[in-house]
Structure 1
Amino acid sequence: MEDFLLSKSSAELKLYCKKLGLSQRGNKDRMVQTLITNLNTPENLHKADNLLPKEVIEAFNRQLASQAFLPISNSEIRIIRCICLNDQGICQQCSKCKQLQHIRCIGDHGKIRPYLCPLCILEKINPLDSCVEVLISAWTVKQNFSINGPGVDIAEKSFEYKIATKNLVETGQGKYQIQIRCMKLDGQSLMMTWPLKGFLIINGKISMRLETSSNPNSKKRKDEPLNITTILTLGRNTVSLIKCADPSSYAVSIYLVYMKSEEQLIEEIVKTSRISIDKSKDFIKKILKSDDEELISDSIRLSLKCPYSLTLLDIPARGQNCEHIQCFNLVSYVQMQRSSRVNRWRCPLCKGFVYDMIIDSYLEQIMKEAEDVEGAENFEIFYDSSYKILTCGEIELPKKNTRAEIECIDLD
């Protein structure tokens, strides 16, 4: 970054400082340090987005990306896949697709760690409904305030419903749908979330009314993707989302999806999403160590039972981003998601989202051994990756304090 700015003339550096309201005093080196000091954070750089030349923005963007997020090459830094569809501005990198989104567009959503862009989340929001084709990439329904508070905001997009897509849907025996999906960009709601109040209009006709009950005792609204297959016409279709009196921003996308059965999803995960025994052992060591490489604990005790079904784990799985060793049973978990009203695709242990699941091969090996141990309920796993299966009789329960065990101190 410093070398890049030093390649500029003193007059150019003074102009940059002037536009940003920074001190123009000192020699060239001092102005370079002033710019670096003041613009080396996403928040401050965002303010300079429209004030500095594109090449300067990209240089700072590259610096921030290498510091705060995953390392990216010079060729990748220019790949911007944002919900605004523009290609200039200060960006943040998605940990999954490795592409960039503007900080100004994603708002509070950018606080998520690990950061996942709205496009990746909307595509993965229901693993049972697999995205086959993106018909409209995510666009935003932004905040719109009037003098009296949040006002009305309208976001409209058009797309071509092609004959090839229509034929696939019609011959797919009900396995294909055109779905419209929506999520709130608040950094918390990483799930299907429609605006609190408004309308979804397709080709000039109201397809869905959005409203919430004022009765506190009524059931919470269950927001789901909307199947718009039968509403569309061959050729050009226009979709409008109107939100009323809602201060939040939203991202909306339309997809052609293939609806998998639970068995298909489970089979797919078993075949393609398994971590090796060696990687599992490395993960265990990472969990048992602190950031400064000090040993937190030499072992950890885990349950052999699924937190969902309370039966012995058959296929131990967890979310790809989960930071715990304990697993849930893949079959039980997937089967329960279709009918679940709330907390869909959330880990029962850490409450993180598990749109991508992995099977732990090492824990799977332990589970198979535990099947032959009568009364096995838990196991203890050590830092060196060795383990011990525990039966009911071997589990030490914490002692309760009794009157005799309480130490009394005589103050007289």
Structure 2
Amino acid sequence: MYLINHKGYEVQACCIFLDDVDQFRMRWPSNSKIKVNGNDVKTEGRLGPGGLRDGVLISTYLDEGSNDISFTASPNGIFRLGIRLVKPRTIQEVCSIICNKQDGELLNDATARVIRCVTGGAATLDAAQRELEVLADSAAVDLRCPISGGRMKIASRFRSCIHMACFDLESFLGLAKTTKKWKCPICLQNYSWEDIIIDPYFHHVIRTIEQSGADTAEIKIRADGSWFPSNEASTSRTNSITCDDLSSPQRTPTNHGASLDDPLILSDSD
């Protein structure tokens, strides 16, 4: 109870459907009801198909020591109920956590991935094979977030996604807060929030454009990884990328008083 009363933690009841096609999604069976120490738990929405897609906070019903928790439902399939300690965090706190990750993608790896996307994998071929490839001079890439429609401020992606396109981190977290899903808005694959990383290649691109004061929202990327604004001639300027160009968004490293391994829920205090 100390963590709940003094450290901002909550206890959450959560339920998943074992055969759900959407990994990590919270899902409740029909006629779900939860009691804690004999008290019916009030929820913000109906528990069951088409109802609440989030966990249920039960901290206010708990007592010091042992507690009795009961769950009844009419399941159509195999469900699992779990009780977990969670740390509600604001969107700004989650942004800070993600921006200060120590296991993000290296710039060299990100650049190689971008080159593979631009060339269709030609970056893996030797020089003789590349001469046989018929490739476009460059590939156009939109820097606008698919969620907000504005130019991204913090270009992010899920670690396992193989596409080039990114999304703005804060815009995505705002969407996830509403939908209760960690789904890539580009390829629609489901992941966990721990899989989100800053894209170092496009972070550099956007930072360079911001420093120049330009309003560029689209660039073209050459097969060697260099780029230029789409509204400029390809020979007018070349922007190459090296490891020295990379720096993380300027945020104060902090874990906000808890382990980053704690289960995370987005709070309503934004």
Deviations 1:204-241 (A, max 9, x none): 4443686558xxxxxx4232111111112222223333
| Structure 2 residue runs without a partner (length 5+) | 126-132, 235-270
1:261 maps to 90
Aligned residues: 217
For residue 377 of structure 1, report the CA deviation from its aligned partner.
2.2
Choose which of 201, 211, 223 in structure 1 pairs with 2:35.
Answer: 201
- Is this contact kept in 2: 1:200–1:239, CA < 8 A? yes
Choose which of 354, 366, 373 in structure 1 pairs with 2:205.
Answer: 366
* Cα distance change, pair 241–392 in 1 and its aligned pair in 2 (3 A): farther
| Structure 1 residue runs without a partner (length 5+) | 1-165, 214-219, 395-412
Choose which of 357, 361, 381 in structure 1 pairs with 2:221.
Answer: 381
Aligned with 2:34: secondary structure?
A: strand
Deviations 1:139-176 (A, max 9, x none): xxxxxxxxxxxxxxxxxxxxxxxxxxx1121122xx21
Aligned with 2:67: secondary structure?
A: strand
Identity of aligned residues (%): 22
For residues 188 and 177 of structure 1, what CA distance do their matches in structure 2 show? 28
Aligned with 1:308: secondary structure?
A: coil
* Cα distance change, pair 278–391 in 1 and its aligned pair in 2 (3 A): same
For residues 302 and 343 of structure 1, what CA distance do their matches in structure 2 show? 29
RMSD: 2.9
For residue 286 of structure 1, report the CA deviation from its aligned partner.
4.1
Provide TM-score, normalisation by structure 2: 0.69
For residues 237 and 297 of structure 1, what CA distance do their matches in structure 2 show? 66
| Structure whose residues are more often helix by fraction | 1
- Is this contact kept in 2: 1:203–1:239, CA < 8 A? yes
- Is this contact kept in 2: 1:377–1:392, CA < 8 A? no
For residue 311 of structure 1, report the CA deviation from its aligned partner.
1.6
Q: Return 196-205 or 267-276, whichever deviates more.
A: 196-205
2:76 is aligned with 1:247: yes
Aligned with 2:218: secondary structure?
A: strand
Write out aligned runs for 1:11-410 (5 A): 166-172=1-7, 175-190=8-23, 191-207=25-41, 220-244=50-74, 246-272=75-101, 274-287=104-117, 288-289=119-120, 299-338=138-177, 340=178, 342=179, 344-354=181-191, 355=193, 356-371=195-210, 372=212, 374-391=214-231
2:254 maps to none
Aligned with 1:367: secondary structure?
A: helix
Report which structure shows greater RCO (CA 8 Å, sep ≥6).
Answer: 2
Aligned with 1:347: secondary structure?
A: coil
Provide TM-score, normalisation by structure 1: 0.47
Q: Return 296-305 or 265-274, whichever deviates more.
A: 296-305
Asked which structure has the greater CA Rg, the reply is 1
- Is this contact kept in 1: 2:28–2:48, CA < 8 A? no
For residues 201 and 170 of structure 2, what CA distance do their matches in structure 1 show? 18
* Cα distance change, pair 304–236 in 1 and its aligned pair in 2 (3 A): same
1:109 maps to none
* Cα distance change, pair 343–203 in 1 and its aligned pair in 2 (3 A): closer
For residues 343 and 229 of structure 1, what CA distance do their matches in structure 2 show? 20
For residue 264 of structure 1, report the CA deviation from its aligned partner.
1.2
For residues 266 and 206 of structure 1, what CA distance do their matches in structure 2 show? 35
